[in-house]
Amino acid sequence: MSDRKTRSFEILRRKLLVASLLVPTVTLAPSLTWAAPKTADINSTGLAVTDKTVTVGILHSVTGTMAISETGSVQAEKLAIEQINAAGGVLGRKIEFIQEDGASDWPTFAEKSKKLLVNDKVAAVFGCWTSASRKAVLPVFEQYNGMLYYPTFYEGLEQSPNVIYTGQEATQQIIAGIDWVVKNKGAKKFFLLGSDYIWPRTSNKIARKHIEKLGLKVVGEEYYPLGHTQFNSVINKIKLKKPDVLYAIVVGGSNVAFYKQLKAAGIDMTKEAPTVLTISVTEDEIRGIGGENIEGAYAAMKYFQSLTNSNNQEFVKAFKARWGDDIVIGDVTQAAYLGPWLWKAAVEKAGSFDIDKVRAASPGIELMTAPEGYVRIHENHHLWSKTRIGKAKRDGQYEIIYETDDLIEPDPFPAGYQ
Amino acid sequence: MFADYSMVELTSIFAMQGFAGLILFSVFVLMALGLAIIFGQMGVINMAHGEFMILGAYVTYLTSSVFSTYLPEYFGSYFFLAMALAFCASAGLGALVEWGMIRHLYRRPLDTLLATWGLSLILQQIYRSVFGAREVGVELPEWSMGSIALTDMIEVPINGIFVMCLTIAITFCVYLMMQRSSLGKQIRAVVQNRPMAGAVGINTEKVDRHTFAIGCGIAGIAGSAFTMIGSTGPTAGQLYIVDTFLVVVFGGAASLLGTIASAFTISQAQSTMEFFLSGSMAKVLTLLVVVGILMIRPQGLFTIKVRK
């Protein structure tokens, strides 16, 4: 009985999917034949829009410490812009971009964002990576009314009318991951470890609240300065406390040192004693760490390169064709790729490049073609998205072993978790 | 804190913690030796020390790529060749830098500080342009990974033992060079009295160049060895530079023995405190203690008498 019910539901779902695929093509077809709308009608605030082009900004660090992480985002955003242009642009206009270098320096980010908004009058900016750089540009975007598409998973506790957050906020990433490890690995004791700055600390705070809410125990919580390279003492402490789960939010160069030393100290992650669960190691980081050093660890995030849906297969193919075969794509790179597409959808829905109209049109924007699957912009400017658990393999990719059934609602100000 | 654990567990954890301290000690000595030679013997503050280390790491990366492509059957032993090449590359670059830049700036310590800092930025950007902004993964030979289990509980990381042995070997070589070889005698003579050393026929410029090159070369070896325990990226050198200067200054600039003593003190203090406190607190306390001692003894732990 119930079997038949689910099957008929399955059929209904498929029909809906087919219908939803048809709808946009049907509505899009006539718009291609129309002449592009007049510039004055779609740009009443003096943005850099001409009859043929619209200019946007890309603002990432391509020099300095953060260049390691931000390079992938720049590549993704450029690819998305090229693809949009190849498909006819936005409101009949080709996207041109001005790229500025934040140089891993937060005041520089603020200065460059002001230049993009005030001098170049860009219609949108895709950029920033660290929370510190986002916090630095935020007042500029709010003062001059710009639109920023921010790609990184981050700690939450923020919601600006001038930012669309295309990465996950902390609760989306953390709670699903901990629920999974409790249910599937029977975890009772947790050891929380992180680099010493706002994101790992806030994330571990949320993790600790959730663990304690489930009636389980946190046996240790430790932070090490950014760039720390010697983890032998804390590894001994972990061995002494014997947690079931080592919850690690170590970032940057420390990551490499940490996993190499963990492995060298005889903690074989494939044996899962303890199970290592991280939210800070994407495929990008594994390249530096080495697959053999992190094999067997689990990561909780919304995107892995190994996702098998057709959107992602096309995305990976296009990305490699554009940037080289040996490239890997991590969670943030994918989130950065969503930025230009979400902006295009919002502009088309608003029928205008005006920031206020784009903002008003943004909540509810859906993207069927996202590599991670379907996403939708929430009223709070974050994305509804699924969370997945991947198991690190020797070749540097993740094997996806779990994904949440439903999209998780973004909750940047989680009640009871602060 | 220890009430819940059995005696056996505690003994093994303390044994392992002892090893952790010794490994940290070796790492500190290895990264500080090169700088101690340059800073201590020549008075040059080399801010690009970290970048010379990373040059060694990149040479190791290249060697490992070449071996895994062309000579996979010898892959297990590539590391020793890589270290030799790392020494040559860093020493060569060091000699070039001394010739092109440093020798024009002797007696102007603040200017060398700025110039070498500029050099470090230039080198970082070169690494970024050549090898890419992302960290590279250095493939290590199988024997260097994992640990030796002494008992059920006590496990000693192999890469740690390797770094320890390497440190002992290099320290011994440096000691021999400084105390026994004629180059060492010349270096010491130049440090103690430069005009007089020149007067008795020592080519002080040549000695300077060799000293600087050897210091950089040792940094290269250190960088090569650290591919086993840390990351290899354009800016990874910055991770080591603060600790390196801390060790050298604390030890007393002109004394190699002081460097070793200070590395031992700092590493033991840090690893013990890391165990009982959190990582960030341990670092803060270590720095506080070092600053406190330097206030009482500005010349560092050990000094040698120098005629100015």
Q: Does the beta-carbon distance from A233 to B128 stay under 8 Å?
A: no
CA pair distance B255, B36, nearest whole angstrom: 8
Q: Does the beta-carbon distance from A253 to B138 stay under 8 Å?
A: no
- A-B contacts (CB, under 8 Å): 142
User: Which of A65, A223, A396 has the CB atom closest to B235's CB atom?
Assistant: A65
Residues A316 and A272 in one domain: no
Residue B223, token pair as written in the block: 């960088």
User: Which of A224, A239, A264 has the CB atom closest to B13's CB atom?
Assistant: A239
Nearest-Cα residue of chain B relative to residue A394: B139
Confirm or reject contact between A263 and chain B (CB < 8 A).
yes
Q: Which of A48, A109, A83, A65 is nearest to A353 (CA)?
A: A48
Residues A182 and A330 in one domain: no
Q: Does the beta-carbon distance from A289 to B137 stay under 8 Å?
A: yes
Residue A297 CB-density burial (10 A; 0-12 exposed, 13-18 middle, 19+ buried): buried
The order of strands in the sheet holding A53-60 is A94-101, A53-60, A125-127, A148-150, A163-165
Q: Is residue A412 in a domain?
A: no
Asked whether the whole model's pTM tops 0.95, one would answer no
Q: Does the beta-carbon distance from B136 to A264 stay under 8 Å?
A: no
Q: Which chain A residues are closer than 8 Å to B236 by Cβ?
A: 253
* Structure confidence at residue B304 (pLDDT): 61
Residues A271 and A399 in one domain: yes
Residues 6+ apart with CB under 8 A from B199: none
Distance of CA A276 to the CA centre of its chain: 21
Instruction: Show the 3-state SS of B143-157.
Output: HHCCEEECCCCCEEE
Confirm or reject contact between B151 and chain A (CB < 8 A).
no
Confirm or reject contact between A201 and chain B (CB < 8 A).
no
Q: Which chain B residues are closer than 8 Å to A291 by Cβ?
A: 137
CA pair distance B127, B123, nearest whole angstrom: 6
Nearest-Cα residue of chain B relative to residue A71: B133
Residues A234 and A260 in one domain: yes
Distance of CA B60 to the CA centre of its chain: 16
Residue B227, token pair as written in the block: 């591919």
CA pair distance B48, A374, nearest whole angstrom: 48
How far is residue A85 from each of residues A29, A42, A313, A344, measured CA to CA in Å?
A: 17, 18, 21, 11
Q: Does the beta-carbon distance from A256 to B17 stay under 8 Å?
A: no
**Contact between residue B286 and residue B266 where contact means Cβ atoms under 8 Å apart:** yes
Residues A272 and A192 in one domain: yes
Domain containing A277 equals 171-301+390-403
Residues A245 and A350 in one domain: no
Q: Does the beta-carbon distance from B229 to A224 stay under 8 Å?
A: no
Nearest-Cα residue of chain B relative to residue A62: B133
User: Which of A64, A196, A253 has the CB atom closest to B230's CB atom?
Assistant: A253
Task: Report, as an integer, the average pLDDT of A347-356.
Answer: 95
Q: In this model, does residue A17 exceed pLDDT 60?
A: no
Q: In this model, does residue A26 exceed pLDDT 50?
A: no
Dihedral, A290, A295, A298, A300 alpha carbons, nearest 10: 30
Q: Is residue A395 in a domain?
A: yes
3-state DSSP: chain B helix, strand, coil percent, rounded to 5? 75, 5, 20
Neighbours of B274 (CB within 10 A): 30
Q: Which chain B residues are closer than 8 Å to A62 by Cβ?
A: 133
* Structure confidence at residue A108 (pLDDT): 93
Residues A156 and A64 in one domain: yes
**Contact between residue A342 and residue A365 where contact means Cβ atoms under 8 Å apart:** yes
CA pair distance A348, A152, nearest whole angstrom: 25
Q: Is residue A21 in a domain?
A: no
* Structure confidence at residue A24 (pLDDT): 47
Question: Is the peptide bond preceding residue A274 cis, with omega within 30 degrees of 0?
Answer: yes
Q: Which of A79, A84, A60 is nearest to A316 (CA)?
A: A79
Q: Is residue A53 in a domain?
A: yes
Averaged pLDDT of chain A? 88
Nearest-Cα residue of chain B relative to residue A255: B231
Residues A177 and A289 in one domain: yes
CA pair distance B136, B70, nearest whole angstrom: 19
pLDDT in tens, chain B (308 residues): 566 677 777 787 788 888 888 988 998 899 899 888 888 778 888 899 999 999 999 999 999 989 888 888 888 788 889 999 999 999 999 999 999 988 888 878 788 889 999 999 999 989 988 888 777 878 888 787 777 877 777 778 888 888 899 999 999 999 898 889 998 899 888 888 888 888 999 998 899 899 999 999 999 999 998 888 888 888 888 878 888 888 888 888 667 888 899 999 888 888 888 888 877 888 888 889 888 888 888 877 776 655 54
Q: Does the beta-carbon distance from B17 to A225 stay under 8 Å?
A: no
Interface test with A, best of B8, B25, B229, B272 (most A CBs within 10 A): B229
Q: Is residue A11 in a domain?
A: no
Residue A157 CB-density burial (10 A; 0-12 exposed, 13-18 middle, 19+ buried): middle
CA pair distance A377, A338, nearest whole angstrom: 11
Q: Which chain B residues are closer than 8 Å to A284 by Cβ?
A: 134
Q: What's the CATH number where A355 sits?
A: 3.40.50.2300
* Structure confidence at residue A271 (pLDDT): 86
Q: Which chain A residues are closer than 8 Å to B135 by Cβ?
A: 68, 253, 256, 287-288
Residues A278 and A319 in one domain: no
pLDDT grade for A22, boundaries at 50, 70 and 90: very low
Q: Say whether A55 sits in a helix, a strand or coil.
A: strand
CA pair distance B232, A226, nearest whole angstrom: 16
* DSSP, residue by residue, A321-359: HHH-TT----HHHHHHHHHHHHHHHHHHHHTS--HHHHH
Domain count, chain A: 2
Confirm or reject contact between A98 and chain B (CB < 8 A).
no
Q: Is residue A242 in a domain?
A: yes
CA pair distance A85, B212, nearest whole angstrom: 55
Nearest-Cα residue of chain A relative to residue B134: A68
* Structure confidence at residue A7 (pLDDT): 53
Residue A310 CB-density burial (10 A; 0-12 exposed, 13-18 middle, 19+ buried): exposed
Residues A280 and A180 in one domain: yes
Q: Which of A218, A160, A151 is nearest to A413 (CA)?
A: A160
Q: Is residue A47 in a domain?
A: yes
Q: Is residue A418 in a domain?
A: no
**Contact between residue B53 and residue B223 where contact means Cβ atoms under 8 Å apart:** yes
Strands A94-101 and A53-60 turn out to be: parallel
Residues A216 and A241 in one domain: yes
- Nearest 5°: the CA angle A37, A39, A45 is 130
Confirm or reject contact between B222 and chain A (CB < 8 A).
no
- Can you tell me the ipTM of this complex? 0.79
- Nearest 5°: the CA angle B107, B110, B113 is 110
Neighbours of A53 (CB within 10 A): 14
* DSSP, residue by residue, B160-195: HHHHHHHHHHHHHHHHHHHHHSHHHHHHHHHHH-HH
Residues A160 and A177 in one domain: no
Q: Say whether A149 sits in a helix, a strand or coil.
A: strand
